[in-house]
Each structure stands twice: as structure tokens, then as C-alpha cells.
Amino acid sequence: MFKKLDVFEKRCKELNTRLYDPSVAADPEEYARIMRQLKELEPIALKYGEYKEALKREEDSLEILNEGGADSELKELAQLELDEAQAAKQTLSEELKLLLLPKDPNDDRNVIVEIRGGAGGEEAALFCGVLFRMYSMYAEKKGFKTELLNANETELGGYKEISFMINGAGAYSRLKFESGVHRVQRVPETESQGRIHTSTVTVAVLPEAEDVEIDINPADLQIDTFRSSGAGGQHINKTESAIRITHIPTGVVVECQDERSQYKNKDKAMKVLKSRLLNAKRQEQHDAVAQERKSQVGTGDRSERIRTYNYPQGRVTDHRIGLTLYKIDDILNGALDEVIDPLIAASRAQQLASANDTV
């Protein structure tokens, strides 16, 4: 591990030196590339510097303790310093192991979130709206931007399905564990006898695909236009601005009708299509080479029930890590970090255990 850390530290110094090169300062693309590398390497290099400092403190303390002529008071201070240095060394060693874990290459990307009603009919559709509001409020708290892509509304104000993009650095790293089946238990407004109903909603979180990753042959696309439908608005049902794109080889269908401009709707629909195709491609690769290593936390098998929102008890339970919080109102108002942070911690712990098993 330490040979690798020495290499990282040396590379970090080289990159910092290059930033002062006039030719780099004059080349925005090269400057940005170096800054991206530094962003990845500096946390490791700085933590390694702290680790080496703890090692030096340990060596100096041991040297004093092993000296025959040192007085008892000095040895007592040296022993205290040794205990602190060894504790710091242990902590920093674990932190370095975490920093060296392979990073998900999609973590810094924007995400496309698709929410669909499952079992429960209109109640499931209404909960789609609740989750959309939750993710929108969470995005706002994190400084991300939410952009609606497509919505299929119901008469009572819910959604059969709704898709939207969340733009922001690290959006995927925060939301990737949201994929899966979300279950809600509550008394519907339409229920006259006060019985609790259980409904389900599926959530898919896709990293936004880059153009270089997916090459789509235009001949493989069937593009249809149709009139927008929805809750109202002057342009609704008057112009054929909505777009439906069918990828013929896979049968994947994407619709977008949020914008008045047909061109903008087509652009958004293509983003969704590329992200879906890229996700399917990666899932095939993952299934082929790593089925036996399916993670405890996972990134969202849609058939897997991942979370329950129980209104009568004010409870939210994430079944993957056994986490229960009696803060349903806070969470549905966007305080999702209380669920997401433990999921990330559990995923890292599992990665670390797997890495240790292979050593």
C-alpha cells in the first residue's frame, strides 16, 4: 500500500508544479485536466502526509523510551506521545484504505431519475408525486438543479410515471442507492374506513451518458411527435411538440413532453435514451462477470424492496442495512442524508472487507 502512496504523493507534487507552468495556464483544457487529477490525488497525499507524521512521532517517542539516561518525567511524556501517535497511525491507516478503494467512475455525473407507480393504483401514483417532491427538495438542499423531463399525470394529481434530471457534481454518488422498490404504508384520503393500504413505487437512477459512450445509429430510431397531455396550460393539446423515440433493436421507448419546443423535447429524450441504453449495457457486463459478488447494499435491483415509508408510525426503514428512523416528515421534506450517509458507509465497509479478503 505504501509504495502506491509514495507514487501518489510524488504525482501530486508534479501536478502542483505543472500548474505554475505558463503553457498550462494558457491552455484551459489542460489546466482543467490537471485540476481534476489533483482533486482525486490531493486528499490521499494529504492523509499520507499525516500518516507519515504519526510514524515520525512514534519513532521519536520510542527513541526516548529506549534511552537509558532519560528521566522518568520525560519518559512519561514520551509514553503519552507514543500512545497518541499509535492511535493516530491506526486511524489514519484505515482512512487511507478507504481513500484507496476503487472509485465509481459515474459518481461525479448528473443523474436521470425515473419514478413509476407499481402496486396500488391511484395511491401508488400519488406516492410517485411524494417521492418526486422529496428528491427535488433534497436536490435543492445540495445545491443541485432539477429539470423535469416527462410526466404522465393522473386525475387526482399523482403520476403514473415521472422522469427528471438532477444536475450537479456528485449527484450520482448521492442518489445511486435510491434505485429499487419503495413501499408506502398509509391510509389513503379516499379510504373512508381508515384502513392502511400498502402500495409500491419503483425508482431508477441512471448516470447521464456521455456522447462518446453510446453510438446510436439514426436508422435504428423511430421518432414520433404527438400532442402534449397533462393538467393544463395554454399549449396543452394544441401543438405536436411532444416526442416519442423508439430504439428499434432493443424496443426501449422514451417520451418527453415537458418543453413547448419539439427540438428541446427531442434533445431531452435522447439524453434519457442514451442513459438507459448505457445502463443496460453496463448491467449486462456486471451480471456476466460479478453475479456472485452482488453487494449487500446494491445499486438497485428494481425487483428488490429497498425501503418502507410507514405513515402511521412515522417510520422510514431501509431494509438493505436494517436502518429505521422515526423521521418520516423530515425525510420526505428532503432530509435524505440521514439515510444516504449510512448507505454509503455500509457500501464502503463492504468494499473494504472485500479488499482485505483479497490481500
Q: Please report the pLDDT score of residue 287 as a whole number.
A: 59
Residue 1, exposed/middle/buried by CB under 10 A (0-12, 13-18, 19+)? Answer: exposed
- Greater pLDDT, 310 or 190: 310
CATH architecture entry for 111-286+300-349: 2-Layer Sandwich (3.30)
Across 74-88, 164-178, 196-210, 290-304, least confident range: 290-304
Helical H segments across 19-71, by residue range: 22-25, 28-66
Q: Please report the pLDDT score of residue 145 as a whole number.
A: 94
Long-range contacts of residues 121-124, Cβ cutoff 8 Å, at least 24 apart: 121/199, 122/154, 122/156, 122/158, 122/188, 122/190, 123/184, 123/188, 123/190, 123/197, 123/199, 124/158, 124/184, 124/199, 124/200, 124/201
CB 166 within 8 A of CB 148: no
Q: What tens digit of pLDDT does each residue of 180-220 get?
A: 999 999 988 766 677 889 999 999 998 887 655 677 888 88
- Greater pLDDT, 288 or 170: 170
> If you average pLDDT over every residue of the chain, what do you get?
83
Q: Would you give the distance in Å from CA 123 to the centre of its chain?
A: 27
Residue 81 — pLDDT band, cuts 50, 70, 90?
very high
Q: What mean pLDDT do residues 299-311 have? A: 72
Q: Please report the pLDDT score of residue 195 as a whole number.
A: 86
Residue 349 — pLDDT band, cuts 50, 70, 90?
confident
Q: Please report the pLDDT score of residue 106 as a whole number.
A: 82
Closest CA to 149 of 43, 42, 238, 244: 244
- Greater pLDDT, 214 or 59: 59
**In whole angstroms, what is the distance from residue 209 CA to residue 211 CA?**
7
CB 254 within 8 A of CB 216: no
Q: With 90 as the cut, is the pLDDT of residue 335 above it? A: yes
Tally Cβ neighbours within 10 Å of residue 265: 24
